[in-house]
Structure 1
Amino acid sequence: MSFQELELLSKMVEIDFIMELLERALRDELQQLTRKKVRVSIIGDCTRLPKPLQVLLREAEETTKNNSQLHLICALNYSGQNDILQACQNMALKVKDGLIEPEDINKFLLEKELETNCTEFPNPDLLIRTSGELRISNFFLWQLAYTELYFANLLWPDFGEDEFVETLSSFQKRQRRYGGRSGS
């Protein structure tokens, strides 16, 4: 077996493990999420996920759809580029079907077609990126336009309460300008 084949096999095993872990966690926690009134929404292309996981994800969304205490959005096999592309395709179909005119297309209509339209607040105020990576990796490309970014040089499992408080403290000190100039 070549090095590339071993590397591909290793990634497949890792992905299978992560999918099984997600399925197990969701089965174990769904009742607690429901009890705590957490709404679960899934965004991304789930068609490539294992069928039992797809069924469980749909069940979680359906079971929790009326919950309103907290909204947990899970991005699985999500691509910001594909999200924007799919939104544009949906708007093009609406133009083709005579439901809208091309001049009706604006940022608000596009945002309604994005997968994050499942939430009342689709644009995050803060993105925390762990692992020391200094990129957003095709994540929420439209939605992050005015998001504050925080890069932590820790792997996600090591990012704990102290780091979270430090992140929030940093965020509180920032001047949010939403594309405008600072008032100096």
Structure 2
Amino acid sequence: MWIKSIAMEEWVRNNIRLSVIKDKSMLPNSLQQVISEAKEALKANSRLHFIIALSYGGRYDIVQACKSVTSKVKDGLIQLEDINQSILEELETKCAKFPNPDLLIQTSGELRLSNFMLWQVHYTEFYFVDKCFPDFEEADFIEVLNSYQK
């Protein structure tokens, strides 16, 4: 597994936390286990939060949040009148300190969101890059940041 190949000691030494936002049903059990173990080993880290969107979809995320809220209403934990925009904190990105990004970089030349973080990007600046992600370099990132500053 690729996660096992990452030197866990280096992640701990660099104080990096790991989260994976995903549709669990799409992943093999062996991968779910590796992800769970890595998240547990790194959960106390706080310098950098590395979030991997693996088998993630914005529509799926919203549906799961709705199911969670509906379940809470059904169980009497909240009332129908309590439902508002902030109640949708049940989204996969609730793991992040700042779940709504200020900037989203879309690589590959695609000019679309591709079902990615549909709820969270309501005030996000978008930057589209023709390069695919593996070819995206530091100079490209600096160009994006310079554009974003304007």
Percent identity reads: 53
Gapped regions of structure 2 (runs ≥ 5): none
* Residue in 2 that maps onto 1:165: 142
- 1:71 counterpart residue number: 49
Identify the residue that residue 24 of structure 1 maps to in structure 2.
2
- Is contact 1:46–1:76 with CA below 8 Å preserved after alignment? no
Q: Indicate how the Cα distance of structure 1 residues 154 and 62 shifts in structure 2: closer, same or farther if over 3 A, else same.
A: same
| Structure number with higher helix proportion | 1
Could you say which residue in structure 2 is the equivalent of 1:7? none
2:84 paired with 1:106: yes
Give the Cα–Cα distance (whole angstroms) in 2 for the partners of residues 58 and 73 of structure 1: 13
Normalising to structure 1: TM-score of the pair? 0.78
Q: Who is 1:147 aligned against?
A: 124
Query: Which amino acid in 1 is paired with 2:139?
Result: D
Q: 1:119 and 2:96 equivalent?
A: yes
Give me the CA root mean square deviation.
Answer: 1.1
Q: Contact conserved, 1:43 with 1:78, CA < 8 A, in 2? A: yes
Indicate if the aligned counterparts of 2:23 and 2:60 stay in contact, CA closer than 8 A. Answer: no
> How far does residue 25 in structure 1 lie from its aligned partner after superposition?
4.5
Residue 92 of structure 1 aligns with which residue? 70
The match for 1:41 among 6, 13, 19 is 19
1:39 match: secondary structure:
strand
Aligned mates of 2:39, 2:3 — CA distance in 1:
15
Report the structure number with the largest CA radius of gyration.
Answer: 1
User: After superposition, what is the alpha-carbon deviation per residue over 1:128-157, rounded to whole angstroms, capped at 9, x for unaligned?
Assistant: 011100001000000000000000011111
**3-state SS of the aligned residue for 1:57?**
helix
Task: List alignment gaps of at least 5 residues for structure 1.
Answer: 1-22, 174-184
CA distance in 1: counterparts of 2:2 and 2:51, whole angstroms: 18
Task: Give the Cα–Cα distance (whole angstroms) in 1 for the partners of residues 26 and 8 of structure 2.
Answer: 22
| 1:62 counterpart residue number | 40
Residue 51 in 1 paired to residue 29 in 2?
A: yes
Cα distance in 1 between the residues matched to 2:26 and 2:59: 17
Aligned partner (choices 127, 130, 135) of residue 107 of structure 2: 130
